[in-house]
Amino acid sequence: MPLIVLLSSCEFFQVKKDAAENIVQEKPIARAHDAFLYKEDIGSIVPDGMSPTDSAERVNRYIDSWARKQLLIKEATENIEFDEAEIERKILDYRYSLMGYEYQSYYVSEKLVDEVTDEAIEEYYTEHIDNFTLKQNIIRGKFINLPIGAPSTVDIKKLIHSNKEVDLEVLKTYCLSFATSYQLNDSAWINFEELVRSTPLAQLDNKVQFLKTKKYTELADSTNLYYLSISEYKMSDELSPMEFVKDQIKNIIINKRKIALARQLEEEVYEKAVRNKEIEIYEN
């Protein structure tokens, strides 16, 4: 069985002197068949400032991954006859692709404008509205999860229904002090399933009927009290409100800009080469 060394800290090698040749040799930190792994091979995988425990864990994961790859390579060479020239060609092709990708990423990061206006988001939403069908039930409302025994719960119902700014501030202060979790921004659309996860409401047989008939709910289990006030809801398969998919649209627009910049770079490089007569296509 091949030797795999597990480390307990970042001090994972020793230096020994070869008396016969009078040179300093580094002791390997792992071996798999005839392949050896040295400290210098993994020096860059631990970032500065990482704790000794985390760095040791990361190093050990790397060593385990390295050993498994070496064993697989050994097994492959014993069972398959490889075309070494083809392997080298693929390595070079990957190397050049990686270099191109690195420069492309640098170019995109330098040129990218990641600010997306509300007008651009609204325009994209309107033009692609069929792509924004809801896949879940969503609501606008307020939700409070309190541990049993929390004080002054008799006031929660009045405060949660109030539209007065002063009452909302009182409710926020109360939730900060006593709530296990809460959601008080009733202007934001939220995923109903995510909101009620780990509550008795998650076990409802008919959530659609619940949303249609219940504007306010109080319930409890053995450890917690739950308060839910729903001001608006939309069902799965309905059109998603633009506000709910705003961040998604922003990411789509930014990704489209990235793709456009990558293509722009390719065109710029190619046209420059053509102008300078640095590229020629010969007949086959």
For residue range 183-226, what is the model confidence (pLDDT) as tens digits? 999 999 999 999 999 899 999 999 999 999 999 999 999 999 99
Q: What is the pLDDT of residue 13?
A: 39
Report pLDDT for 25.
61
Q: Band of the pLDDT at 22, cuts 50, 70, 90?
A: very low
Pairwise CA distance, residues 25 & 14, whole Å: 9
Q: What are the strands, taking DSSP E only, across the chain?
A: 15-18, 23-26, 30-32, 35-37, 138-147, 181-183, 190-191, 216-220, 224-234
Q: What's the pLDDT band for 49 if we cut at 50, 70, 90?
A: confident
**Residue 252's pLDDT is what?**
98
Q: What is the mean pLDDT of the chain?
A: 89
Query: Tell me, what's the pLDDT at 20?
Result: 42
Amino acid identity for residue 243 in this structure: E
At residue 8, the pLDDT reads 43
Give the rounded percent of residues in the chain with a pLDDT score beyond 90.
77
Q: Is the pLDDT of residue 16 over 50?
A: no
Token duo for residue 54: 């985390």
Q: Please tell me the class of the 134-234 domain.
A: alpha beta
What's the pTM?
0.71
Residue 149 DSSP one-character state: T
Please tell me the predicted confidence (pLDDT) of residue 229. 97
pLDDT tier, 3 (very low <50, low <70, confident <90, very high otherwise): very low
Tens digit of pLDDT for each residue in 128-180?
999 999 999 999 999 999 999 999 999 999 999 999 999 999 999 999 999 99
pLDDT value for 12: 40
Q: Quick one: pLDDT at residue 184? A: 96
Distance CA 140, CA 238 (A): 15
166, 133, 113, 156: which is closest to 237 by C-alpha?
133
Alpha-carbon distance 112 to 253, whole Å?
Answer: 11
Residue 147 has φ and ψ, to the nearest 5°, of -70, 145
Indicate the domain borders of the chain: 1-81, 112-126+242-275, 134-234
Cα separation, 165 vs 174, whole angstroms = 14
- pLDDT tens digit string along 118-130? 999 999 999 999 9
* 237-270 residue pLDDT tens: 999 999 999 999 999 999 999 999 999 999 999 9
